[in-house]
């Protein structure tokens, strides 16, 4: 059965190079007892290899052209459940059956929604053991960026406050159909059980980080003037004359504590 062509509107680039697929699965290292959730299975390049190695695999696919093809092949894999759903609205924690249980997430994230999808996944990190995600290299670099660099921003701070981020490999455009114009990276994100820089009010933390980087060219006292006074910024041990990209994750958590 032939597969539908990738849809540009859905940011689809189907992974097809078997050597890359094997490297990703080996790096992810799924165990038989684990519950794994795959985002955007596409034509099933990763899906059916994963299904043979775990006790339960859930695959979330938005493209209704692909779902019947996946379900047809899934008939031979009783441990595989295909969900026709939007990953940006999906409740991942529903799949973590039982208190204290955690799922593992893997996926070649659609290019056009990769950043909002990472934020959505982070909101479910309490029930996730880890996330192995393929991203455009540019987005992956922003996730891993250090303070003071051009790539460092809201995405960097929000991910690094909740997760340890590790680059597993770089993937060339030729591994996909159609080939994207840029390289990709596979990142492993491991949510902290006990964050090194905890925050008591995560929505306040998110608001401070978002507001700061909306005006990253301004000094902190001007970028955050609607949320924090210059005195509050100083009380957190931070120079109000610094720019948002000069602050560490720990600095932003201290600002949140000061704002409480």
HEC-encoded secondary structure of 189-227: EEECCCCCCCCCCHHHHHHHHHHHHHCCCCCHHHHCCCC
| Cβ atoms within 10 Å of 259's Cβ, excluding its own | 18
pTM: 0.91
How far is Cα 30 from Cα 55, in angstroms, rounded to an integer? Answer: 10
Classify domain 202-259 at the CATH topology level: Helicase, Ruva Protein; domain 3 (1.10.8)
Every domain of the chain and the residues it spans? 8-191, 202-259
Low-confidence ranges of the chain (pLDDT < 50): 1, 6, 9-11
pLDDT in tens, 188-218: 999 999 999 999 999 999 999 999 999 989 9
DSSP for 179-190, written as a single string: PPSS-EEEEEEE
pLDDT score of 8: 52
CA distance 25 to 4: 24
The fold adopted by the segment(s) 8-191 is Rossmann fold (3.40.50)
List beta partners, residue 107.
39, 133
């Amino acid at each position: 059965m032939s597969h539908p062509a990738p849809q540009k509107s859905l940011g689809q680039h189907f992974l097809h190079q078997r050597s890359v697929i094997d490297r990703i699965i080996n790096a992810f290292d799924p165990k038989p007892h684990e519950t794994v959730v795959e985002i955007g299975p596409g034509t099933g390049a990763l899906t059916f290899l994963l299904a043979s190695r775990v006790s339960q695999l859930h695959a979330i696919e938005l493209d209704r052209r692909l779902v019947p093809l996946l379900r047809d092949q899934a008939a031979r894999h009783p441990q595989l459940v295909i969900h026709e759903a939007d990953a940006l609205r999906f409740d991942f924690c529903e799949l973590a059956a039982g208190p204290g249980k955690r799922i593992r997430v893997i996926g070649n994230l659609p290019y056009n929604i990769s950043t909002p999808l990472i934020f959505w996944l982070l909101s479910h990190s309490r029930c996730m053991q880890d996330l192995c995600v393929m991203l455009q290299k540019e987005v992956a670099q922003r996730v891993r960026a250090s303070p003071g660099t051009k790539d460092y921003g809201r995405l960097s701070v929000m991910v690094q406050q909740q997760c340890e981020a590790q680059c597993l490999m770089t993937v060339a455009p030729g591994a996909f159909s159609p080939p994207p114009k840029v390289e990709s990276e596979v990142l492993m994100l491991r949510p902290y059980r006990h964050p090194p820089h905890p925050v008591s009010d995560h929505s306040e933390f998110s608001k401070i980080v978002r507001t700061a980087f909306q005006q990253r060219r301004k000094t902190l006292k001007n970028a955050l003037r609607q949320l924090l006074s210059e005195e509050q910024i100083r009380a957190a041990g931070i120079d109000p004359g610094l720019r948002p990209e000069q602050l560490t994750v720990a600095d932003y958590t201290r600002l949140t504590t000061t704002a409480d």
